[in-house]
Amino acid sequence: MTIAAWPASERAWERTKGSLAGGVSTGLRASMKPHPIFVEGGAGPRLTDLDGNSYLDYVLGWGPVILGHGHPGLTAAVSAQLPLGATYGTGHLLEAEVAEKVLDRIPGMERVLWSNTGTEATQVALRLARGVTGRRRFIKFGGHYHGWSDPMLVGYRPGADGTLGLGSQGQNPSALEDLVLVEWGDLDAVAEALKAPDSDIAAIFCEPVLCNSGVIEPPEGFLAGLRELCDATGTVLVFDEVITGFRIDRGGAVTRYGVTPDLVTLAKAIAGGYPLAAIAGRASILERTTQGIVHAGTYNGNPVVLAAAGATLDALDEPGVYDAFERQGRALADGIRAGFARHGLAVTVNQVGPVVQCIAGVADARTFTDFIGADQEFYDRLTVQLLRRGVFTLPGGRWYLSTAHTDADVAHTVQVLDDALAATLA
Ligand code: PLP
């Protein structure tokens, strides 16, 4: 049975547009096809909407809901904290207990700073890098996303003129002066940029797997090469693990690729859907926040979200979690590939653990430029056909799995995809 229309969601959207800009809480959500669906609630890997439709959820809140919806351990931990108060504004042991769990999982990290969103975490990381080096500029890679702040929202997607520049109207154009933009994987270009006598580079930022633009892994030796260049030049190496952290391995990209940066930014999966972010790193850098580098925030170390994080990290330590992520991620990726092939359609499917990327219309996408060439119009229509068949996916081609998804869910999804592809082509 397919869903013909979403009358209750449509009515809800009409109503919410009267009070919320765009009718939902981000511009991206407003752009979801055919329109945002309005959720009644979630359970495990499923969401139910106001029309009573149930969906297998591969959006997972755009990544954070790594245990699925309403996970009992997570819910119990949050419920136990709620009567004890929402926030304290001074020390409490939970903030250290969860920091210890982070340090236990990511080798080479010595301290943690708590923050609320990935955007804040990357901002703080940049400020720390500037503070400890006394330098101003930073290197980032085309297509990497480090949040929506003025300095960071650069070089993410081509603008109307086709170039990779500022990411938003109203953004301070000085962001361009502070940036050296390099192609992902081009170590020679990084070395060149660092060598320039007036380079003034404080940090290299990267998503260690380019999850936001194609789930493109670093070329062999590339992260180690960045580490060497940073060591040689006194540059701060930052892995933005907002997506990869605790997801592609127990210790994220640091353990998966065996390279230790100076700072790691974390968010999304860390608290199973609650708003928490962290900066982990070397003590000599993070301790500078007590010596003049400002890291502030009323909600930093919030006990409710930290209760969620403690329970999430414990649940991710259950035996077999990362094996299941890898197995299901592969099955989903293989299924998408096979479905496109059966319908004679070109595709590239990349997968790292429970993160899968479908690049429709491009046979062998290896670079950010290849990824940008995806057939977005076709993929948008496919997401609507998937939605009609009870599979909720992100617009840009990325799929997330949670611990609540089963092998049977993935097998069912692959079958549904076949029908959805046929309907998209019809
Ligand atoms: N860094 C990366 C790699 C991200 O994927 C995101 C968000 O998607 C951010 C930073 C920003 O995080 P937030 O949306 O929590 O501000």
* pLDDT tens column, 357-393: 999 999 999 999 999 999 999 999 999 999 999 999 9
C-alpha 369/C-alpha 70 separation (Å) is: 38
How many whole angstroms from 244 Cα to the centroid of ligand 1?
Answer: 11
Kindly state the average pLDDT of the residues 42-49: 98
Report the run of H or E that residue 358 belongs to, with start and end: strand 355-360
Question: Would you call 150 a catalytic residue per the annotation?
Answer: no
Residue 108 pLDDT grade (very low, low, confident, very high; cuts 50, 70, 90): very high
Q: Hey, is 236 helix, strand or coil? A: strand
How many whole angstroms from 311 Cα to the centroid of ligand 1?
Answer: 22
Kindly state the average pLDDT of the residues 334-360: 98
Tell me what pLDDT residue 413 has.
98
Given 268, 274, 322, 409, the catalytic residue: 268
Ligand 1 pocket by Cβ (under 6 Å) = 117-119, 122, 145-147, 207, 212, 240, 242-243, 267
Residue type, 141: F
Ligand 1, atom 8, lies closest to the CA of 147
Residue with tokens 């430029």: 369
Are 391 and 413 within 8 A, CB to CB? yes
In order of their start, the domains of the chain are 7-70+319-425 (3.90.1150.10), 72-316 (3.40.640.10)
In the predicted model, is pLDDT for residue 112 greater than 90?
A: yes
* pLDDT tens column, 217-253: 999 999 999 999 999 999 999 999 999 999 999 999 9
How many whole angstroms from 375 Cα to the centroid of ligand 1?
Answer: 24
Question: Would you call 198 a catalytic residue per the annotation?
Answer: no
Of the residues 25, 146, 299, which should be mutated to test ligand 1's pocket, given the most ligand atoms within 8 Å of the CB?
146
In the predicted model, is pLDDT for residue 299 greater than 90?
A: yes
In the predicted model, is pLDDT for residue 405 greater than 90?
A: yes
CA-244 nearest atom, ligand 1: 3
C-alpha 291/C-alpha 55 separation (Å) is: 50
How many whole angstroms from 205 Cα to the centroid of ligand 1?
Answer: 13
In the predicted model, is pLDDT for residue 424 greater than 90?
A: yes
Peptide bond into 34 cis (omega under 30): yes
Q: Hey, is 57 helix, strand or coil? A: strand
For residue 240, give both structure tokens.
Answer: 């933005």
C-alpha 400/C-alpha 57 separation (Å) is: 8
DSSP 210: B
Are 81 and 303 within 8 A, CB to CB? yes
- Using only C-alpha atoms, the chain has a radius of gyration, in whole angstroms, of 21
Q: Hey, is 137 helix, strand or coil? A: strand
Burial class (CB in 10 A: 0-12, 13-18, 19+), 18: exposed
Of the residues 243, 264, 357, which should be mutated to test ligand 1's pocket, given the most ligand atoms within 8 Å of the CB?
243
Question: Would you call 240 a catalytic residue per the annotation?
Answer: yes
CA dihedral 267, 376, 166, 140 (to 10 degrees): 50
Cα–Cα nearest to 101, from 314, 296, 290, 267: 314
Residue with tokens 């997506």: 243
Report the run of H or E that residue 96 belongs to, with start and end: helix 93-105
How many whole angstroms from 3 Cα to the centroid of ligand 1?
Answer: 32
Instruction: Please list, in sequence order, all residues whose beta carbon lies within 8 angstroms of the beta carbon of residue 323, skipping any fewer than 6 positions away.
Output: none
Share of the chain above pLDDT 90, in %: 98
For residue 280, give both structure tokens.
Answer: 């982990």
H-assigned helices in 260-301 = 283-286
In the predicted model, is pLDDT for residue 160 greater than 90?
A: no
Kindly state the average pLDDT of the residues 4-26: 97
C-alpha 26/C-alpha 147 separation (Å) is: 13
How many whole angstroms from 167 Cα to the centroid of ligand 1?
Answer: 14
How many whole angstroms from 121 Cα to the centroid of ligand 1?
Answer: 9
Given 55, 145, 322, 400, the catalytic residue: 145
In the predicted model, is pLDDT for residue 11 greater than 90?
A: yes
Kindly state the average pLDDT of the residues 185-214: 97
Residue 1 pLDDT grade (very low, low, confident, very high; cuts 50, 70, 90): confident
CA-207 nearest atom, ligand 1: 3
Given 178, 240, 249, 262, the catalytic residue: 240
Kindly state the average pLDDT of the residues 204-214: 98
C-alpha 97/C-alpha 37 separation (Å) is: 38
CA-241 nearest atom, ligand 1: 3
Burial class (CB in 10 A: 0-12, 13-18, 19+), 399: buried
Residue 58 pLDDT grade (very low, low, confident, very high; cuts 50, 70, 90): very high
* pLDDT tens column, 133-148: 999 999 999 999 999 9
Of the residues 25, 117, 119, which should be mutated to test ligand 1's pocket, given the most ligand atoms within 8 Å of the CB?
119
Ligand 1, atom 12, lies closest to the CA of 118
C-alpha 251/C-alpha 146 separation (Å) is: 19
Are 56 and 413 within 8 A, CB to CB? yes
Of the residues 120, 145, 352, which should be mutated to test ligand 1's pocket, given the most ligand atoms within 8 Å of the CB?
145
